A and B are shown apart, each in its own frame.
With several copies, the nearest count.
Chain A
Amino acid sequence: MTEVKKKLETLGEDVLKDIDNQKNPDIDIPVRSLSNVIYDDKLKQLTLGDKVSKRFLFNVAHAKPFMQFMLIAALCKELQEQNIHTSLRDVFYALKRTLPNSDENTFDEQNESDPIIVDLEVTLDVLREQLHLNADVRGRVVGNVIIKDRGDTINWSKLGSGGWSIPSNVEELTFKSVDADYILVMEKNAAFERLHEDRFWQKQNCILVTTQGQAARGPRRLIQRLSSDYKLPVYVFTDADSYGWYIYSVIKYGSISLAHISERLGCPTAKFIGLTISDIDEFKLQGFTIKAKEVDIKRAHEMLKYDWFKHPAWQKELKLMIERKVKAELEALSGRGLRFMTEVYLPTKIKRKDFLP
């Protein structure tokens, strides 16, 4: 019996014990909000505190999430038994149905089942992947790397224009050969395609990763494994705005919502290559910026308070953004020429070692 299956059975037995004793069954779920997230400055990691919330079956406000929690737990046990991997979306659909004699569904939207899956993860202290649940696939990679996955040998430098889609579960892949000086991680697919077409990875001897937005678990774990196994520096390249910078911080320290697995996903050695608000002046991007929205400014104000953004360099950038009410996207560099990013911006930054911590 797998460890995960054992944990799921124990969960069931605890509830059953309450039922047998005719008590109101409850589950202790660790709290995942900011109030229970601790930034460990030594480890450079966000970790979860020890606050828990109790969820009761016989409480009108708790009853439905309690039921949903048990449904997901039971499905996960099935996945273990049948050795099926499936997606979050599949879980939602596999469990979604209308309850008898009502017009109420077990789940109405996927955004109802997703957080309960995280509840289950943190409650059992297991990785989602161990539950056989794949996150949505997002992220691509290219570079002089050969890997083995599910018995296939895959050369990341020989996959045509598309690159390799990073799967959600990279635990089982192995690296055959890695020939690179650093890893360049970028938020945007468009930048990735530009650099790929310009063969930046060949010229610079690096690995290019795009997270396509907020980094999913697969790419994060992949970056962490590559950088720690092969001691490769990681440079993160995002828009100059609070959201882009937060993407960087998640890659480096972990996220508030997944603080319970920061140690497996975080990459504390990562550095920030750009864009910064200071870059706007430095690289003459003034004509290609965008007005920051209310939400951007609000987010920046929140981030000013996060322990892991207390470094003066970051405080300066955040304040600059708030003050100038401006942001810049990676594509702003195209305003200076379609190859400005490839030929000027990135080489300059790397040469100068002009990174933010």
Chain B
Amino acid sequence: MVEEIGKTAEEMGKEQRQIAVSEFFEKNRHLLGYDNPTKALLTVVKELVDNSLDAAEEARILPRIWVEVKPNGPDRFRVMIKDNGPGLVDKQIPLALGKLLYGSKFFRLRQSRGQQGIGGSGAILYSQLTTGKPTTLISSTGNKKTSHYEMMIDVKKNEPEIISHQILEDGREWHGLKVEMEIEGRYIESRQGIPEYIKQVAIGNPFAEIVFEGPNGKMEFPRAVNELPPIPKEIMPHPHGVELGILRRMMKSTKSRTIASFMTNDFSRIGSGTANEICKLAGIDPKISPGRLEVEDTEKLFKAMQKVKLVRPPTDCLSPLGEEMMVKGLKKELYAEFFAAVTRPPEVYRGNPFQIECAIAFGGQLPADQPIKVVRLSNRVPLIYQEGDCAITKAISGTDWKRYGLQQSGRSIPVGPAVIMVHIVSVWVPFLSESKQAVAAYPDIMKEIKLSLQELGRNLQHHVAGKRKMEMQQRRKEIFDRYLPEVANAVGKLTNKPAEPILNKLRSIIKKNTEVIVDDRSKEEVGNAG
């Protein structure tokens, strides 16, 4: 057998070549959320809605988004998403959507929905892979001209392949982006379906108006808040979040001349005093050029940077919804009797600021005998799949809800009439996979989620306890009402007196003295006689 003679190193070497990232993702499309037709349909909608919301927010426009999903043959759908965002400049359109790993958000330390420059182009990649058809892109920046593209992606090169292109001077006032594509997919109405997804988007983005037209009709999600959350700011990396390898690279490419200025310029939260302190701790001359530092010295500097006490990174790079907005979001979509929300102060994970907030809707029309519904949001984006692996689910299961008034068996999702929403906000949310459906359960993040849930739990418990206290008081009154005639009778018999007046006196004790009947439920007190 010829094949049984092994290849030599030389033969093997000749076979090697570079792979385009688009080829990689085409083959590994499950990494982008295109595992199966059902999930793929949701992923396309999700990526495009995320892009629309991000763009509108960045342009400080209250978002209004139209989503259409219409069947077009068996397992085929036409998906259209249109927004009122800033639109794209004509020549940017092919690059922004026709090239993977191309974007603006990757390099910035700031909170946003998409981050990797894969979302939109990934959808187009999936569309052409499953239908062979180009995607239609229509955009205007509000300059009375509208760009029309039909486009595909050249997978071998990771470059846009423009099928047709025209600019219409149509005088339209509209600005925004409209994306229309045909894909292979499957539509479901269940918990992991598009309607539920859009409902969660509406809850998590109460400042957005969304109209969804699906195969089974139209749903409108009105706006509940008329202002956008503040725009998050970009920040410099925080020294505690930088890794040794990254530090080395930064030192090589910095424009700063000295170690000291490198640290004050290229990092947040290092003043010149701190810079000198770090250098002293590392035993390094602060005036030396960053490019000149030896590997060992870099390591010393790195360790000193970790050791020194620093102010936490600036947190205006984060824009949580805030307690009020979360409650409004829940209220407009859910009928419940009690709402509460908690926004934790920002925290830091690997030098990346992040913030946890959560909210609960309780009681009312929510079903009492099922596991609570969990709405997971990451930078305002609902997470639908991989629920079990997600830090949020794990934190909810790992919290003792029995003490807060929900049922729970062991470490599982509690049961009760509640919806709990948890929102993680960060410049860099660590996901378990590129399909961005589950937050990785790092200890720092788990801890914050749990603290927020505990605070939320206490709010809930307060509410439930109040309700229970009233019920208890009522029950106590009933108990005494039931026992008093018996006691009066017995005391009457023992003392040879009529029972009626004794009963009246007993009743008057209750009336005068209601605190008596809400007395503690303690065991009998023990003391010494006499």
Residue from the set A51, A55, A67 with the largest chain B CB neighbour count within 10 Å: A67
Interface residues on A, range: 35 or more
Contact of B495 with A24 in the complex, beta carbons under 8 Å: no
Stretch touching chain B among A96-104, A176-184, A319-327, A346-354: A96-104
Residues 46-75 of B at the A interface (beta carbon under 8 Å): none
Report B-chain residues with C-beta under 8 Å of the C-beta of A73.
490, 494
Is B521 in the interface zone, CB < 8 Å from A? yes
Residues 458-516 of B at the A interface (beta carbon under 8 Å): 476, 478-480, 482-483, 485-487, 489-491, 493-497, 502, 505-506, 508-510, 512-513, 516
Stretch touching chain B among A15-23, A187-195, A217-225, A257-265: A15-23
**In the complex, A58→B509 CA distance in Å?**
9
A19-B529 CB under 8 A given contacts A58-B480, A62-B524: no
Is B12 in the interface zone, CB < 8 Å from A? no
Report B-chain residues with C-beta under 8 Å of the C-beta of A70.
486-487, 490-491, 494
**In the complex, A50→B512 CA distance in Å?**
34
Smallest CB separation, B469 vs chain A (Å): 13
Task: Scan A37-79; emit 1 where CB is below 8 A from any B CB, else 0.
Answer: 0000000000000111111111111111011001101100110
Contact of B528 with A16 in the complex, beta carbons under 8 Å: no
Contact of B524 with A50 in the complex, beta carbons under 8 Å: no
Report B-chain residues with C-beta under 8 Å of the C-beta of A31.
526
Is B13 in the interface zone, CB < 8 Å from A? no
Contact of A50 with B530 in the complex, beta carbons under 8 Å: yes
A59-B526 CB under 8 A given contacts A12-B494, A22-B512, A74-B494: no
Q: Name the residue of chain A whose CB is nearest to the CB of B497.
A: A16
**In the complex, A117→B516 CA distance in Å?**
27
Smallest CB separation, B205 vs chain A (Å): 47
Is A30 in the interface zone, CB < 8 Å from B? yes
Smallest CB separation, A38 vs chain B (Å): 13
Contact of B494 with A51 in the complex, beta carbons under 8 Å: no
Contact of A51 with B516 in the complex, beta carbons under 8 Å: no
Is A13 in the interface zone, CB < 8 Å from B? yes
Residues 223-264 of A at the B interface (beta carbon under 8 Å): none
Is A173 in the interface zone, CB < 8 Å from B? no
Is A126 in the interface zone, CB < 8 Å from B? no
Report B-chain residues with C-beta under 8 Å of the C-beta of A19.
491, 502, 505-506, 509
**In the complex, A9→B496 CA distance in Å?**
8
Smallest CB separation, A123 vs chain B (Å): 11
The size of the chain B interface, using a CB distance under 8 A, is 39
Contact of A50 with B529 in the complex, beta carbons under 8 Å: yes
Is B520 in the interface zone, CB < 8 Å from A? yes
Report B-chain residues with C-beta under 8 Å of the C-beta of A77.
493-494
Is A106 in the interface zone, CB < 8 Å from B? yes
**In the complex, A71→B488 CA distance in Å?**
10
Contact of B483 with A67 in the complex, beta carbons under 8 Å: yes
Residues 159-206 of B at the A interface (beta carbon under 8 Å): none
Contact of A51 with B526 in the complex, beta carbons under 8 Å: yes
Is A170 in the interface zone, CB < 8 Å from B? no
Report B-chain residues with C-beta under 8 Å of the C-beta of A285.
none
Report B-chain residues with C-beta under 8 Å of the C-beta of A11.
494
Is B519 in the interface zone, CB < 8 Å from A? yes
**In the complex, A106→B494 CA distance in Å?**
18
Is B245 in the interface zone, CB < 8 Å from A? no
Contact of A53 with B524 in the complex, beta carbons under 8 Å: yes
Residues 93-116 of A at the B interface (beta carbon under 8 Å): 99-102, 104, 106
Contact of B529 with A71 in the complex, beta carbons under 8 Å: no
Contact of B522 with A59 in the complex, beta carbons under 8 Å: yes
Report A-chain residues with C-beta under 8 Å of the C-beta of B486.
67, 70-71, 99, 106
Report B-chain residues with C-beta under 8 Å of the C-beta of A304.
none
A71-B482 CB under 8 A given contacts A50-B530, A53-B526, A55-B524: no
Q: Name the residue of chain A whose CB is nearest to the CB of B524.
A: A53
**In the complex, A189→B398 CA distance in Å?**
57
Is A171 in the interface zone, CB < 8 Å from B? no
**In the complex, A50→B497 CA distance in Å?**
32
A53-B519 CB under 8 A given contacts A24-B509, A70-B494: no
Contact of A54 with B527 in the complex, beta carbons under 8 Å: yes
Q: Name the residue of chain B whose CB is nearest to the CB of A99.
A: B482
Is A28 in the interface zone, CB < 8 Å from B? yes
Contact of A58 with B517 in the complex, beta carbons under 8 Å: yes
Smallest CB separation, B508 vs chain A (Å): 7
**In the complex, A279→B130 CA distance in Å?**
74
**In the complex, A42→B340 CA distance in Å?**
68
Report A-chain residues with C-beta under 8 Å of the C-beta of B7.
none
**In the complex, A42→B516 CA distance in Å?**
47
Is B91 in the interface zone, CB < 8 Å from A? no
Contact of B527 with A74 in the complex, beta carbons under 8 Å: no
Contact of B522 with A61 in the complex, beta carbons under 8 Å: yes
Report B-chain residues with C-beta under 8 Å of the C-beta of A50.
528-530
A54-B524 CB under 8 A given contacts A28-B529, A106-B486: yes
Contact of A57 with B487 in the complex, beta carbons under 8 Å: yes
Residue from the set B483, B527, B530 with the largest chain A CB neighbour count within 10 Å: B483
Partner pick for A101 among B482, B491, B494, B528, CB 8 A cutoff? B482
Is B523 in the interface zone, CB < 8 Å from A? yes
Is B369 in the interface zone, CB < 8 Å from A? no
Partner pick for B516 among A12, A58, A71, A106, CB 8 A cutoff? A58
Residues 172-210 of A at the B interface (beta carbon under 8 Å): none
Is B525 in the interface zone, CB < 8 Å from A? yes
Q: Name the residue of chain A whose CB is nearest to the CB of B523.
A: A61
Contact of B528 with A52 in the complex, beta carbons under 8 Å: yes
Report A-chain residues with C-beta under 8 Å of the C-beta of B483.
57, 63-64, 66-67, 99
Report A-chain residues with C-beta under 8 Å of the C-beta of B521.
59-61
Is A8 in the interface zone, CB < 8 Å from B? yes
Partner pick for B525 among A53, A66, A78, CB 8 A cutoff? A53
Report B-chain residues with C-beta under 8 Å of the C-beta of A20.
505
Smallest CB separation, A103 vs chain B (Å): 11
Report A-chain residues with C-beta under 8 Å of the C-beta of B496.
9
Contact of A67 with B487 in the complex, beta carbons under 8 Å: yes
Report A-chain residues with C-beta under 8 Å of the C-beta of B478.
102
Partner pick for A66 among B482, B487, B497, B505, CB 8 A cutoff? B487
**In the complex, A278→B324 CA distance in Å?**
62
Smallest CB separation, A167 vs chain B (Å): 28
Q: Name the residue of chain B whose CB is nearest to the CB of A22.
A: B509
Residue from the set A12, A22, A29, A61 with the largest chain B CB neighbour count within 10 Å: A12
Task: Scan A113-146; emit 1 where CB is below 8 A from any B CB, else 0.
Answer: 0000000000000000000000000000000000
Smallest CB separation, B287 vs chain A (Å): 76
Q: Which 6 A-B pairs have the closest CB atoms?
A: A12-B494, A70-B490, A74-B490, A53-B524, A74-B493, A12-B495
Contacts A29-B524, A53-B524, A73-B490 given; 8 further ones with Cβ under 8 A?
A57-B483, A57-B506, A58-B510, A58-B517, A62-B524, A66-B487, A67-B483, A70-B490
Task: List 15 A-B residue pairs with CB atoms under 8 Å apart, sorted by A's residue number.
Answer: A9-B496, A12-B491, A12-B494, A19-B502, A23-B509, A31-B526, A50-B529, A51-B528, A55-B524, A58-B509, A60-B517, A63-B479, A63-B483, A70-B487, A73-B490
